[in-house]
Amino acid sequence: ANGAALVASELMPKELLAELKQIEHRFGRRSGGQRWGSRVLDLDIVLWSGGAWSSRGLTVPHAAFRTRDFVLGPATALAPS
């Protein structure tokens, strides 16, 4: 099932991404799998209260997030306006 959560953190996006990857790993997700295949757990940073963020391996917001219903539905539920 798809779900969304609003997370408060003092971490910058790059550090938060590293934490999310560790959580995925603890749930059994391994790197090197099919890029668009199903996953045990897939945690993403969709938006950040600090605005746009870009570094090697991470861009927030994702360039295509506005075109993906599986992202927009939960995001709209969390922040309707």
State the CB neighbour count (10 A cutoff) for residue 4: 16
Catalytic residues: 29, 39, 42, 44
Helix runs in 1-81, H state only:
13-26, 69-78
Query: CB atoms < 10 A from the CB of 12, how many?
Result: 13
